[in-house]
A and B are shown apart, each in its own frame.
Chain A
């Protein structure tokens, strides 16, 4: 019988070990990989004694599905605009108390009250950027590019694309002259055909690995987010980034508090902390994505502030469209992307 008691004891110990401590001394954050400067989390720990644990995901869709299906609990999430829109619709986010987040005033008006979360009831902008082409300017000596270059046979096996459905389909739609939020079946079918055609000349579909690979000159062209592009250009002087002529996507990631979190107060404090000028500065310089904070922008050195990758011109900005949650049509996007990947 002693053996059984021993077994039970072990089981109990394991179960205790699995239980999460809930003493208000820690917060959990779910975010893109390499998207929050560890240094600021350390500062927060020093200032408040609250430890913020950051788990990462590769794409917003992955995160959404994990949260939607339950089984994981986080207090805070950093996600893309259209995913936030969807999470609001599906009641996965808590309403924010903006009185708790005083630094919200520091955020540039152009990033407030956007369609996906009007009046910022559920999310506070975190960072923003565009989608464009990262290219090797030593080989491709051009100032303006069209999306068509990513379909050019000349660059066979010299192109990287992201491995997510939304970005690939959106830029294909843009190439064809449609909106990034197209729902029309015929137009989507056209985009699918283009993507299948493109697959033959692509070297690989990657996610974060694109950064390292481009810095190491593994390819000449890549689909890239502006912040990542800036990071790559710092690492490899031959690289440059443009927003193609046809226009592109302008994205804005926000931070929100998940419904399942019981620590709204602590989480709000952390969001407030993120919006602080010194913290925003540390963060944007590390992650390279553009800041949403007007005070941070003022404080940035000229070389970053005036960099057209970090802060595109008004003209470029106007050419870009924001993603919307397309509801059930997104399922079509998923099927299209699955079939593109399954094709030879």
Chain B
């Protein structure tokens, strides 16, 4: 019985992970002429044109900024939620998850109503006699959309790791005369590192590959790597170039995952969720 389930799992992996990756590689390393496929590295030499490298660079920078902001907002929130004297933590945690029941597209569209030139914020501004500001269609709007969508992925793992900290350790430190700052630096922060790394991974990965947020909030002007791949597959139909881009993207993600994992290993924590390996 158990074996059958194992086989169904292997079957699943082959069909939905292994075969697609082989296909992506096949397309990435070939070109088509008169319905014939032949080996070629042209796709990759095109990927390394300055203009496309800029696209990769832009995606990574925006994703890193988004991850940093998520961390700066997420850690204090997780800390407050994990506080043992905090009464409403379960209710707040619930509120944090409620928006995730809704479709991401809808949630992102909702920002239009707020940010538009004639939107909510600008309505208030002009009501107060101030000049209107255009919030939409720039890098900041994209980062805002990403942070908004991915913040729970940062808060939850950190919250979990903070919750797991044995309170006796903290009490012991207090008994030995450590002040609050020292306790945080020496005990809480190191013990929550696994949560931080897993949060960072879970925010960075979707952020670097996201295309719908940059498309909507960036007004199609700021092409990220996800947009470029979408463009190649759906608009121009150049699957070969699209696959070459996907291969590079996979490599980049592996590299970053490796870095994050390395950082985590140094802090000898075993429970590291959300990793690719």
Contacts and interface: CB of A to CB of B under 8 A. Distances in A.
Contact of A218 (B51, B118, B235): B118
Interface in B218-235: 218-221, 223, 227-228, 231-232, 234-235
A69 B231 CA distance: 15
Contact of B234 (A62, A216, A337, A344): A62
- Top 8 A-B pairs ranked by shortest CB distance? A204-B219, A205-B220, A334-B236, A65-B237, A204-B137, A341-B223, A342-B223, A163-B220
B223 A204 contact: no
Contact of A68 (B52, B220, B237): B237
A26 to B, nearest CB: 26
Contacts of A163: 220
A341 B214 CA distance: 12
Given A62-B235, A338-B228, A205 B221 contact: yes
B134 interface: yes
Given A62-B234, A65-B234, A203 B219 contact: yes
Given A204-B220, A205-B221, A342-B228, A165 B235 contact: yes
B118 A217 contact: yes
Interface in A199-223: 199, 202-206, 216-219
Chain B: interface residue count, which band?
A: 20 to 34
Interface of B: 1, 4, 51-52, 54-55, 116-118, 134, 136-137, 218-221, 223, 227-228, 231-232, 234-239
Given A204-B219, A206-B220, A338 B136 contact: no
B235 A65 contact: yes
A97 B114 CA distance: 53
A7 to B, nearest CB: 8
A342 to B, nearest CB: 5
A203 B235 contact: no
A325 interface: no
Nearest to A157: B134
Nearest to B136: A204
Contacts of A157: 134, 137
Given A69-B239, A204-B218, A335-B236, 8 more contacts: A61-B237, A64-B237, A65-B235, A202-B221, A204-B137, A206-B220, A342-B54, A342-B55
A343 interface: yes
A4 interface: yes
A329 to B, nearest CB: 13
A182 interface: no
A331 interface: yes
Contact of A204 (B55, B221, B235): B221
B235 A199 contact: no
- Most chain-B Cβ atoms within 10 A of its Cβ — which of A62, A218, A341? A341
B51 A205 contact: no
A203 B137 contact: yes
22 contacts: A4-B4, A61-B235, A61-B236, A61-B237, A62-B234, A65-B235, A65-B237, A165-B235, A165-B236, A203-B134, A203-B137, A205-B220, A205-B221, A206-B219, A216-B116, A338-B236, A339-B51, A341-B221, A341-B227, A342-B54, A342-B55, A343-B51
A68 B116 CA distance: 38
Interface string A43-70: 0000000000000000101101110110
Nearest to B137: A204
A68 B237 CA distance: 9
Nearest to B52: A342
A253 to B, nearest CB: 19
A216 B118 contact: yes
A199 B118 CA distance: 22
B54 A344 contact: yes
Nearest to A164: B235
B235 A59 contact: yes
A151 to B, nearest CB: 16
A65 to B, nearest CB: 4
A148 to B, nearest CB: 21
